[in-house]
Structure 1
Amino acid sequence: MLLRLAPAATLAVLAGPVVLGLAFTVLPAFGFLPALGGTTFSLDPWRGLLAAPGLSTALTLTVGTGLATTLLALALAAGLCAAVAHRPGMARLQRLMVPLLASPPSGLALGFAFLVMPSGWLVRLVSPWATGWAVPPAGLVTVGDPLGISLVAALLIKEVPYLTLMVFAASATVPVERLMAAARALGRDAATAWVSVVFPQLYRQVRLPVFAVLAFSMSVVDVAIIVGSTNPPPLAVLATRWFLGYDLAYFHTAAAAATLQLVLVALAILLWLALERPVAALGRRWLARGSRSRAAGGAAGVAGAVAALLILLGLLSLLAMLVWSLAGSWRFPAALPDSWQLWLWRGEAGDAAALASTSAGIGLAAVAVALVLTLACLENEQRHGLHPGAAVQWLVYLPLIVPQIAFLFGVQVLLVRAGLDGTLLAVVWAHLVFVLPFVFLSLADAYRALDPRYAMTAAAMGAGRWQVFLTVKLPLLARPILIAAAVGFAVSIAQYLPTLFAGAGRVATLTTEAVTLSSGGDRRILGLVAVLQAALPLAAYGLALALPFLAFRRFRGMA
């Protein structure tokens, strides 16, 4: 009976906050918010939004950076997969990407800013011997540029590894070797064969992750605050400023901006879907010509090289944060600090430990609930022979595709009415909305692929269903469960807007503190917080890999 309730509970967690939050955001966008005196519908919030200075630039930044990030991330991920799919070493590449996948986007953005700012590490490495700069160049704008180039670059460091991993995972569902062999037999080189034959088979399976990247890139707030343009900022940052400002008169305008953000993301997804058909037609025409040109393979090689460079920049970004946290005196243009120190780690240990424990506690609580719901849903599937369709997958991705700013304000309104805003419980619930999809997606394939003969054998020996679940299935799935938990934990650590809105500014985590410090705090303290931001998820991934090995090292195939 309890298992039958699991899908409904999961639906409530995934869709409930999104649908209700959207409703309580859209209503104020049209003037209806009784708590602030809005008892009638009006278009005044939209008039105020349209009159806001810099709105057209904010819209251009939002759409431009979102589409550019998604197109480039997909092209670079495909190019990287094409470049390495036929070579040994894919496992090493995936291991290199783990730190980037585990690190919060805001942490990577901070490290990236440390690298590329006019006084950053990359400039220091080539100064003064190559540039002649003895002081940081005043006219060089590398962070917060008005075109959003630095924002796109920072997002690519996170999104290229993510889409690469999605493509690698999808490739397990198609006969890659057979397709590659057939294409090679027609005279195509390996990279061209992968691009022309394998990738079209994989694209449909990575479409939803692509949409998630598109929605995130268009509506991200923390990364945009750190490296994006500030005057004006992208639309999501503008809406967040109005929501969190002290002037309540801007709440209706902020709700209109959040609603417009939702419309922009929806239109961008529809545009992407509309372009898929003509692009596919061009691809089929190219294949039908039977050309043996190596141009596609060369382009894939260039894309793979750029993707590898981005991965290297991401790893350097993590290292830059660590160096800054240990730096004593570090004057420009020295490539390394003049002195090293540990006093900052000792002096800030108490505050840092408090932030880390709060972040970890919220993450562990959200992951625990997500695992219970996920395992209950998957077990219910098996017991009742259910076969979820595409609609279920869209539902799982719903919180990842709908812009956070479009419904979190509405969620905050609900929490205020329930008297829960500003509590840890509210923050855990807000994180769960985003943790649950990743936990479910990480665990579902492994659970469904488990050989049913294990359960049948245990049942034939007299074990009940729950005994089979607890003593057979869970031990066999220990590694996938722990990896899913680590993924969910990393997602929780990265949450900025959910913590800000549900916590009402009273719950501080490593991520909220890092974004706050990015506007002008001590670089060394900022580096310390960013290192802890990355260290917690990496520790979770390390435990997820080590615990099964330690527990089942005597049982081959389980460790």
Structure 2
Amino acid sequence: MTHLLRLTVFALAAGALVLPILAGLWETGRAAFGVLPAIGADRLTLDPWRQLAALPGFATSLRLTLVTGVGSTLVALILAAGAVAMLAGRGGGPARLIAPLLAAPHAALAIGVAFLIAPSGWIVRLVSPWATGWDRPPDLALLNDPWGGALMLGLLIKEVPFLMLVMASALGQLPLRATLATGRALGYGRATAWLRLILPRLYPLIRLPVYIVLAFALSVVDMAIILGPSTPPTLAVALTRWFGAADTALILPASAGAVLQAGLVVGGIALWRGAELMLARLGRAWLRRGARGRGAAALLAACGAAVAGLVTLGLLALAALAVWSLAWRWPFPAALPEAWSLRGWLRPADWGEALGTTLALGLASTALSLTLAITWLEAEDRAGRMPWSGALIYLPLLVPQIAFLYGLNVVMLRAGLSGGMGAVIWAQVLFVFPYVMLALADPWRALDRRLLATAAALGAGPVRRLLGVKLPVLARPILTAAAVGFAVSVAQYLPTLFMGAGRVTTLTTEAVTLSSGSDRRVVGLYGALQAMLPFLAYALALGLPAILHRNRRGLTGGLG
């Protein structure tokens, strides 16, 4: 029976997660080497790669991808480590400040950042004309700059809070106070003790999340469209444009570029791992020297100040979405609108369909992902943990979306499934499930097993223990995992764009499309709606358990 359960869970995981990715990579790989019968290409050739190299701006796109992806990940890791070292053990205030940035979808946050740093943005308005003398927007490349600076800023605002959360969680696995006390006994200050004693033990615990951040930064599309350079853009944005171009001849070089994009992520992670090993050797030599590191405190303070600035910018970006969604007349350089209006919010005919589709996709993909996660974890309880489970969970987060979504769309077209809600839901589950699983796995595995033993002693079978004990006790973690999954679904851009064949419109696809338009009020409205949905989901996740268990004050196991 145990063996059968293992096989069943493996089949579910493989069918839902692995096979779609492998099928998509296979079809993309075939097209990358000239085989795509739908457009009359039926022989193996290297011509798509030659065409890719000859496309205008390809080399610049490649350089921008590497600089923004690797650069933002490296800076985010340094800043997050410094900020966590400064804030550890000092209350939950900082965590509450970064929570909105963690919940906000990437596209909504990017739009808010654009509203801040544009030449006519909020920051320039706040210092004009009294400090700058500008009575009209300056001719400065503050947004969509050719160096990718604005994109890196947006990535940092999103990545630093995530890495801080991961590090704060990992610190719970280390004897923090005892280690710091040992450092003080050796004559080290707090900052030096962190760098010498805590960080080397902390980093291995967060290595995989760092790789996920690196993979995302190297292949991000929605934020790069809004904040990044446009002529030429990063490689992932260029590939998205080529795949959607009217000229079908671009599909083959775009497929070659998609394979290259996957290679960049694999190569980037390999080089990062090599850098880790080299730094580990240098670090051991530094540790043996025994220097007191007098500048460590200043370094951590600088990281903390930089993170405070990023969090402030992120919160102002979310505020800018709300302000622009309510603005009616806002001439430059006024710091606030001269006239306010609810007109956009009171016209649901404009945004109601996108909102409804977003809700339907989010609820469906979250329900499926949550069901699969609970099935997986229950199978672990009955049959033991499976050694390959981690690889299956993280695979969709490490493989660039652009590398396999086009090929998966080809598979769906052959099956007659592309362009509908079902195909989009399935594609979103590929990315929603890993986050649901990661959010739910630790609380599930930490459940007090004495509760289950008591239920079994009273005659409850496995199903009754699941329905009567585990699910009620783990109500809060389950709802939190559902909120995480819903937020991930709301943020999905490429899966909706590719698998929906342009016929499935969500708040995210509309926001990204409209971001290049001139009416900031409309863009702000879509961005505000997009950001609002995850906040509502998290509010429900926090509020419902309190209502469900108002008469069960002693039911605390797993409610955290």
Q: TM-score, normalised by structure 1?
A: 0.97
- The equivalent residue for 1:110 is 111
CA distance in 2, matches of 1:426, 1:488: 18
Indicate conservation of the 8 Å contact 1:327/1:341, yes or no: yes
Indicate conservation of the 8 Å contact 1:3/1:376, yes or no: no
Instruction: Give 1:12 shift.
Output: 2.4
CA distance in 1, matches of 2:263, 2:74: 20
- The equivalent residue for 2:146 is 146
CA distance in 2, matches of 1:321, 1:250: 36
Match status 1:356 vs 2:338: no
Question: Which string of whole-angstrom CA distances, capped at 9 and with x for unpartnered residues, describes residues 390-434 of structure 1?
Answer: x43232111111111000001100110111111000000000000
CA distance in 2, matches of 1:447, 1:3: 19
Question: Which string of whole-angstrom CA distances, capped at 9 and with x for unpartnered residues, describes residues 260-284 of structure 1?
Answer: 1111111111100111111012222
1:498 to 495, 500, 511: 495
Match status 1:475 vs 2:472: yes
1:328 is paired with a residue of what secondary structure?
A: strand
Q: Which moved more, 1:549-558 or 1:536-545?
A: 549-558
Distance 1:7 1:97, change over 3 A: farther
One-letter amino acid of the counterpart of residue 361, structure 1: A
- The equivalent residue for 2:263 is 263
Figure out how many residues of one structure are paired with residues of the other and give that number.
553
Instruction: Give 1:15 shift.
Output: 1.4
- The equivalent residue for 2:424 is 427
CA distance in 2, matches of 1:129, 1:378: 60
Gaps (5+ residues) in structure 2? none
Distance 1:137 1:105, change over 3 A: same
- The equivalent residue for 2:377 is 378
Question: Which string of whole-angstrom CA distances, capped at 9 and with x for unpartnered residues, describes residues 141-177 of structure 1?
Answer: 1111111011000111111111111111111112112
5 Å-filtered alignment, 1:48-447, equals 48-86=51-89, 88-89=90-91, 91-138=92-139, 140-347=140-347, 349-384=348-383, 386-389=384-387, 391-447=388-444
CA distance in 2, matches of 1:521, 1:360: 27
CA distance in 2, matches of 1:117, 1:556: 53
One-letter amino acid of the counterpart of residue 414, structure 1: V
CA distance in 2, matches of 1:320, 1:3: 51
1:346 is paired with a residue of what secondary structure?
A: coil
CA distance in 2, matches of 1:7, 1:80: 40
1:437 is paired with a residue of what secondary structure?
A: helix
Q: Which moved more, 1:293-302 or 1:458-467?
A: 293-302
- The equivalent residue for 1:455 is 452
Q: TM-score, normalised by structure 2?
A: 0.97
Indicate conservation of the 8 Å contact 1:184/1:193, yes or no: yes
- The equivalent residue for 2:526 is 529
Indicate conservation of the 8 Å contact 2:473/2:555, yes or no: no
CA distance in 2, matches of 1:174, 1:462: 39
- The equivalent residue for 1:542 is 539
CA distance in 2, matches of 1:428, 1:145: 35
Indicate conservation of the 8 Å contact 1:325/1:527, yes or no: yes
1:212 is paired with a residue of what secondary structure?
A: helix
One-letter amino acid of the counterpart of residue 73, structure 1: A
One-letter amino acid of the counterpart of residue 535, structure 2: L
CA distance in 1, matches of 2:307, 2:290: 28
Question: Which string of whole-angstrom CA distances, capped at 9 and with x for unpartnered residues, describes residues 293-336 of structure 1?
Answer: 23223212211211121111111000000000001110000000
Instruction: Give 1:557 shift.
Output: 5.4
CA distance in 2, matches of 1:294, 1:541: 43
Q: Which moved more, 1:354-363 or 1:317-326?
A: 354-363
Indicate conservation of the 8 Å contact 1:366/1:429, yes or no: yes
Indicate conservation of the 8 Å contact 1:242/1:254, yes or no: yes
Instruction: Give 1:3 shift.
Output: 4.8
Question: Which string of whole-angstrom CA distances, capped at 9 and with x for unpartnered residues, describes residues 331-360 of structure 1?
Answer: 00000001111112112x223222112111
Question: Which string of whole-angstrom CA distances, capped at 9 and with x for unpartnered residues, describes residues 466-494 of structure 1?
Answer: 11111111111111111111111111000
One-letter amino acid of the counterpart of residue 360, structure 2: G
Question: Which string of whole-angstrom CA distances, capped at 9 and with x for unpartnered residues, describes residues 237-293 of structure 1?
Answer: 111101011111111011011111111111111100111111012222222222222
1:26 is paired with a residue of what secondary structure?
A: helix
Indicate conservation of the 8 Å contact 1:191/1:301, yes or no: no
CA distance in 2, matches of 1:518, 1:371: 32
Question: Which string of whole-angstrom CA distances, capped at 9 and with x for unpartnered residues, describes residues 517-558 of structure 1?
Answer: 011141001101000100000100010011111111331453
Instruction: Give 1:125 shift.
Output: 0.3
Superposed CA RMSD in Å reads 1.3
One-letter amino acid of the counterpart of residue 221, structure 1: V
One-letter amino acid of the counterpart of residue 21, structure 1: G
CA distance in 1, matches of 2:386, 2:284: 31
Question: Which string of whole-angstrom CA distances, capped at 9 and with x for unpartnered residues, describes residues 361-409 of structure 1?
Answer: 101111111111111111111112x2344x4323211111111100000
Identical counterparts, % of pairs: 53
CA distance in 2, matches of 1:372, 1:99: 27
CA distance in 2, matches of 1:12, 1:505: 25
One-letter amino acid of the counterpart of residue 98, structure 2: M
CA distance in 2, matches of 1:529, 1:556: 43
Indicate conservation of the 8 Å contact 1:421/1:504, yes or no: yes
One-letter amino acid of the counterpart of residue 387, structure 1: R
One-letter amino acid of the counterpart of residue 356, structure 2: S
CA distance in 2, matches of 1:284, 1:478: 45
Instruction: Give 1:462 shift.
Output: 1.0
CA distance in 2, matches of 1:214, 1:134: 41
- The equivalent residue for 2:513 is 516
Indicate conservation of the 8 Å contact 1:3/1:377, yes or no: no
CA distance in 2, matches of 1:157, 1:63: 19
One-letter amino acid of the counterpart of residue 136, structure 1: P
